[in-house]
Amino acid sequence: MPRAPSPSPSCVDAPELCGYIYNWTGLSWLAEGSYYLLLKPLRILMIILLAMLARFLIHRVITRVVRSAAGTHTLFNPIRSRIPGAVPPPTPGVAERRGARAEALGSILRSISSAVIFAVVVMLVLGELGVNLAPLLAGAGIAGLAIGFGAQNLVRDFLSGLFMLFEDQYGVGDVVDVGAVVGTVEAVGLRITTLRDAQGVLWYIRNGEILSVGNKSQGWALVIVDVPVGFTNVEQSAEVLRSAADALAHDEQWADDMIEPPSVLGVEQITPDGAVLRTTVKTPSEAQWRVARELRRRLTDSLQAAGIADRISAGRVYIRPPATGLPGATNGQAETGAGGAT
């Protein structure tokens, strides 16, 4: 039986494999095509398998880091939170908030890692198939540069949203002040933050346009209530307010909504209507509005019960200009606004 012709000199890509296949099978066409029929597919398969393994390991590391950081103050918190005494102890719900933020960041990091691995695999596979990657990479670089200039606002919004989420500047349900709008956060995206203001208007704000954020729902809040007491006895009025504040502090219904008991600081300012006394109380951020309303109500009722509110209203004098054309009203009085007291 005649032996098959030996492989041609073109079998140069994998001479050892080519010779081994030819000696094993005696088929020159299989030996000459072994590089593309066997070696190339095996290399591509190995690239894909290694990429899948790398993706699995990277995702596993990200998941473990996210889970461990969700219960600590070491990673997903501002640097100041790691300084002893720099911030007060966490209030209820902080752990849940930290866990939700960590999971969101983990999802983003896993998506980014998958995209990077996929891009690298595609380039390696194209290189194995003999595609010249130099023009492709050059074209991709030029296209990326053009897109970067044209979509720089989009990139800025994306990066701003990523860092806002990473630093926990605000979250869904927080009441924030972003300068132009004050409202409740309804959705936080990597490009758009959605706020609903007190009138019910829904605002869509690009993250890149948010230069400063005032979060009224993080940590604790200080409720400040200024009460005018007129020209009454300041010590007596302060004692009445202090008794009402102490009653609120000892009320079991409101005890969980106060970090520190209310305190009457004293005279805050002097106005034409008399003195203004200030009362403060430190509360969890989510309880500040209801505590403020209850404190105002109790302070008002205490002044009314002590008769101080009646003395305040009785001692007020309002000056009004007389109506023009009335008998006895001169032109000078009408111009200068002189008139009787009511």
Amino acid identity of 279?
T
Low-confidence ranges of the chain (pLDDT < 70): 1-39, 69-101, 148, 150, 309-342
Nearest to 73 by CA among 50, 116, 102, 49: 102
How far is C-alpha 122 from the chain's CA centre?
A: 35
Dig out the tokens for 48 from the structure. 């894909």
220-314, CATH topology level: Alpha-Beta Plaits (3.30.70)
Helix (H, G, I), strand (E, B) or coil at 68: helix
Helix (H, G, I), strand (E, B) or coil at 11: coil
Distances (CA, A) of 230 to 115, 256, 273: 68, 33, 5
Q: What is d(CA 59, CA 61) in angstroms, rounded to the nearest whole number?
A: 5
pLDDT, tens only, 83-140: 444 444 554 455 666 666 677 777 778 888 898 899 889 888 888 777 787 877 787 7
Domain with CATH 1.10.287 in the chain: 39-150
According to the model, what pLDDT value does residue 25 have? Answer: 60
According to the model, what pLDDT value does residue 9 have? Answer: 47
Beta-bridge partners for 334: none
Q: Which residue has the tokens 């309002």?
A: 318
Domain with CATH 3.30.70.100 in the chain: 220-314
According to the model, what pLDDT value does residue 57 have? Answer: 93
CATH code of the domain occupying 39-150: 1.10.287
Q: Which residues contact 105 (CB under 8 A, 6 or more apart)?
A: 66, 76, 165, 166
Q: What is d(CA 76, CA 104) in angstroms, rounded to the nearest whole number?
A: 11
Q: Which residues contact 76 (CB under 8 A, 6 or more apart)?
A: 69, 70, 98, 101, 102, 105, 166, 168
Phi, psi of 281 (to 5 degrees): -155, 135
CATH code of the domain occupying 163-215: 2.30.30.60
Domain with CATH 2.30.30.60 in the chain: 163-215
According to the model, what pLDDT value does residue 111 have? Answer: 85
**Residue-wise DSSP of 180-225:** S-EEEEEEE-SSEEEEEETT--EEEEEGGG----EESSSSEEEEEE
Helix (H, G, I), strand (E, B) or coil at 211: coil
pTM value? 0.54
